[in-house]
Amino acid sequence: MLFKQQALLRQKLFVLGSLAIGSLLYLVARVGSLDRLQPLCPIDGRFGSRGQDEIQLRALQFKRGLLHEFRKGNATKEQIRLHNLVQQLPKAIIIGVRKGGTRALLEMLNLHPAVVKASQEIHFFDNDENYAKGIEWYRKKMPFSYPHQITIEKSPAYFITEEVPERIYKMNSSIKLLIIVREPTTRAISDYTQVLEGKERKNKTYYKFEKLAIDPNTCEVNTKYKAVRTSIYTKHLERWLKYFPVEQFHIVDGDRLITEPLPELQLVEKFLNLPPRISQYNLYFNATRGFYCLRFNIVFNKCLAGSKGRIHPEVDTSVITKLRKFFHPFNQKFYQITGRTFNWP
Ligand code: A3P
């Protein structure tokens, strides 16, 4: 009898203990997210006067509690009506460059309470079939957001596709355009690595990078190879400049985003006229991944998928030297046009 009572007591204590630990964990988690719900500092002159570009802070403060569901596209009709949620055309687009770190940039910007990302690459402007479906089709692909949040999408193919600048201009001539670049030879090898992995997945063989990047007849850089062409940033940018002034572009240093993301993100916040809300707390280095990962609050964090940060194959140093020499004059022109200089060899 006594033994039974003791067992019952132990059971009760166990349940109470679990409840207490659960509540404690919940509170800790709440404090983490509440921390990010603190009222925001008033916008000062740095962000300009109230206007089209300004993000209403009222909207930001509500974001955290509800956004998780909206992002997943789960907003119910009731929620949409209650919170005046809308699907908005993007105010900023990450137009490229493929393998520059476009996904990392989008995900990191999405840490900002005023930013809502379109998760998928929409390929509206570079794909004729999609483009023919019209702007309403594009808008319907956007996530739900508060009217004063900004939507950002990324489709790296936009940067190199001929028709895209004019098409985006027709949608919104004052849109903000983000380009993330890496040292051109590294980017080209990263591009090659992605294609190589795709071939390997299908059990196909593929050429070595050296064979593709160098023309065997001339022994010069093969400018017909897409991975090389994409890295001639200035050539593509010049096409964009026929439609948009240089001030409408912001160049992100993709190499620095890997090693030191916060200052790069702060520059983007400024460019987008957003109050500075992304902090070191939101970014932590994950030694296993070898990259920075994202921390939303004390319980919710994530690293990018394993397809980001592949190991590159070793490339013949003479080929690397040749490529770097080839890109050099284009890089100089790129620095000159954009006003952003990199230490690329
Ligand atoms: P590698 O796979 O060559 O390392 P994109 O998203 O445009 O395809 O770019 C992919 C690149 O983003 C990766 O190239 C990787 O180096 C870079 N990157 C930058 N920040 C990263 C991060 N925090 N986690 C993973 N990859 C990141």
Tokens of residue 43, six digits = 């916008």
Which is more confident, 37 or 89? 89
CA 91, CA 115: separation in Å to the nearest integer? 10
Ligand 1 atom at minimum distance from 294 CA:
23
User: Got the DSSP string for 39-71?
Assistant: PPPPP-GGG-SSSTTPPPHHHHHHHHHHHHHHH
Our mutation pick for probing the ligand 1 site, out of 97, 98, 99, counting the most ligand atoms within 8 A of Cβ, is 99
Q: Which CATH number fits the domain 75-183+232-311, given the four candidates 1.10.3720.10, 1.20.1730.10, 3.40.50.1820, 3.40.50.300?
A: 3.40.50.300
- Reported as a pLDDT band with limits 50, 70 and 90, residue 235 is very high
CA 252, CA 241: separation in Å to the nearest integer? 17
Please state the length of the chain.
345
What is the whole-number distance in angstroms between the Cα of residue 280 and the centre of ligand 1? 19
Tell the residue nearest (CA) to atom 11 of ligand 1: 101
Which is more confident, 26 or 44? 26
8 Å CB contact between 229 and 184: no
Tokens of residue 32, six digits = 């983490």
Instruction: Give me the percent of the chain exceeding a pLDDT of 70.
Output: 78
Predicted TM-score (pTM) of this structure: 0.82
Our mutation pick for probing the ligand 1 site, out of 258, 301, 311, 315, counting the most ligand atoms within 8 A of Cβ, is 258
Q: pLDDT digits over 96-107, tens only?
A: 999 999 999 999
User: Got the DSSP string for 175-229?
Assistant: -EEEEEE--HHHHHHHHHHHHHHHHHHTT-----HHHHHB-TTT-SB-TTSHHHH
One-letter amino acid for residue 53 of the chain = D
Q: Which of 99, 154, 176, 322 is catalytic?
A: 99
8 Å CB contact between 153 and 186: no
- Residue 243 known to bind ligand: no
CA 117, CA 130: separation in Å to the nearest integer? 19
CA 210, CA 197: separation in Å to the nearest integer? 16
User: β-strands 249-253, 150-154: how paired?
Assistant: unpaired
Q: Is 99 a catalytic residue?
A: yes
Whole-number pLDDT of residue 79: 80
DSSP character at residue 293: E
What is the whole-number distance in angstroms between the Cα of residue 4 and the centre of ligand 1? 60
- Say whether pLDDT at 232 is over 80: yes
Q: pLDDT digits over 195-210, tens only?
A: 999 999 999 999 999 9
Nearest alpha-carbon partner for 235 in 223, 248, 247? 223
- Reported as a pLDDT band with limits 50, 70 and 90, residue 161 is very high
- Say whether pLDDT at 13 is over 80: no
- Reported as a pLDDT band with limits 50, 70 and 90, residue 69 is very low
- Residue 311 known to bind ligand: yes
CA 174, CA 90: separation in Å to the nearest integer? 11
Tokens of residue 51, six digits = 């206007």
- Say whether pLDDT at 14 is over 90: no
Quote the mean pLDDT of the chain.
85
Whole-number pLDDT of residue 59: 39
User: Got the DSSP string for 106-162?
Assistant: HHHHTTSTTEEE--S----SS-HHHHTT-HHHHHHTSPEE-TTSEEEEE-GGGGG-T
CA 108, CA 276: separation in Å to the nearest integer? 13
Whole-number pLDDT of residue 111: 97
- Say whether pLDDT at 292 is over 60: yes
Tell the residue nearest (CA) to atom 14 of ligand 1: 309
Whole-number pLDDT of residue 8: 59
- Please give the average per-residue pLDDT across 146-161, as a whole number: 97
Ligand 1 atom at minimum distance from 100 CA:
7
Ligand 1 atom at minimum distance from 97 CA:
7
Nearest alpha-carbon partner for 59 in 170, 166, 188, 148? 148
Nearest alpha-carbon partner for 121 in 147, 98, 144? 98
8 Å CB contact between 283 and 295: yes
Return the minimum-mean-pLDDT range out of 76-85, 128-137, 229-238. 76-85
- Reported as a pLDDT band with limits 50, 70 and 90, residue 176 is very high
CA 129, CA 170: separation in Å to the nearest integer? 17
What is the whole-number distance in angstroms between the Cα of residue 194 and the centre of ligand 1? 11
- Please give the average per-residue pLDDT across 271-292, as a whole number: 97
- Please give the average per-residue pLDDT across 131-149, as a whole number: 96
